[in-house]
Structure 1
């Protein structure tokens, strides 16, 4: 098992444009993917791009076959090795959602993403991949592909009033090692979806309808983060 160092925002290597893979099914490529998988799993990640470990190649891994404890309510995304990806936007609709990143630890921000996409590419053996994705799946793919063109999610943000430190924005978020846990006020995202609405009254009274701790003042002001997930 080889866990590689994950580069953090501010490292110039994260801003470089990755190069396409030209040879598939090689020992070097398989070793890189193995290292990426070990690194992603060690951090309980939902995805990882090769540039995040200092390798300038268009290689992504994402998804899991089981529920990730960091976002137990997110739909399952198929475990995928995606090389030389191309994204085609299928719908002009944009969706905003909370994102985080292993290269931007301790911070969260709301990022607009295309709601429905098609992505194509190859696996490590050179076999073609083509899928249509929406929602969380589409967001994960777009987030990871951004790493291949030197973009981190804060560079996609449009409203920096919805960006800050996790411990300040969401003090009830269980995130002991900054890479795990998705709970608000002791509740999972699913229970929050059931108890929160967009009205000011239900935002202010949501805590009163449960025996849990109240939501943070920021959440009460800006609305319940019903689609909050870690994306890496």
Structure 2
């Protein structure tokens, strides 16, 4: 068995849609616990799970830990001007404000295998919480990063992206989405067919 296979075997399995606990709010992490070796080890395990399961973010409830923390990747300008991917940890986060403007995008989820959804969300959010060291943190996110934050945050409240679909027809299979060039221009909603994965469509 390879080292990668051994690492994968040591990871908690993904909890998927239909599990009743995944649809309930999770409990807060005691602040005094954040800097402890035990909690830091959990953050590392969550990161390994995100990499192994090929996620751009992952919330603790998705691997059976029903506490309020998650990891997400964001894109920032690097020293050479090129975008670089940054890993961020949010513990006991909260959304303090959301923009009145919204956008739409295709979303997927490790806990909802085989499906994608055309989902509307606020275009920007201001957030607060604690970072991986237990320090108070605040950020403003816009565009795709705002969407990733909101998606992971939803997990902490027991929400999955299909629950946010404005129309059941906005949920499609991966196979159908891969063949979307054959869809009518307004299916399943105006702009959905031609919006690339990972992009947002302003409302």
Question: For this structure pair, what is the TM-score category when the shorter chain's length is used for normalisation?
Answer: 0.7 to 0.9
Cα distance change on mapping 1:76 and 1:157 into 2, 3 Å: farther
**Corresponding residue of 2:131:** 123
- Over the residues paired in the alignment, what is the CA RMSD in angstroms? 2.1
Gaps of 5+ in 1: 67-74, 172-214
1:53 maps onto 2:63 in alignment: yes
Offset of residue 137 of structure 1: 0.4
TM-score by length of 1: 0.71
1:7 maps onto 2:7 in alignment: no
1:97 maps onto 2:105 in alignment: yes
**Corresponding residue of 1:203:** none
**Corresponding residue of 2:3:** none
TM-score by length of 2: 0.81
Per residue, is there more strand in 1 or in 2? 2
Gaps of 5+ in 2: 1-6, 77-82
Written as runs of structure 1 = structure 2, the 5 A alignment for 1:65-144 is: 78-144=86-152
**Corresponding residue of 2:181:** 216
Offset of residue 160 of structure 1: 2.0
Work out the CA distance in 2 between the residues paired with 1:135 and 1:15. 26
Written as runs of structure 1 = structure 2, the 5 A alignment for 1:180-199 is: none
SS of the aligned residue for 1:63 comes to strand
**Kept after mapping to 2: 8 A contact 1:89/1:114:** no
Q: Deviations over 1:160-214 (max 9, x none)?
A: 222111102323xxxxxxxxxxxxxxxxxxxxxxxxxxxxxxxxxxxxxxxxxxx
**Kept after mapping to 1: 8 A contact 2:74/2:145:** no
Offset of residue 5 of structure 1: 0.7
- Give the paired residue count: 179
Cα distance change on mapping 1:221 and 1:91 into 2, 3 Å: closer
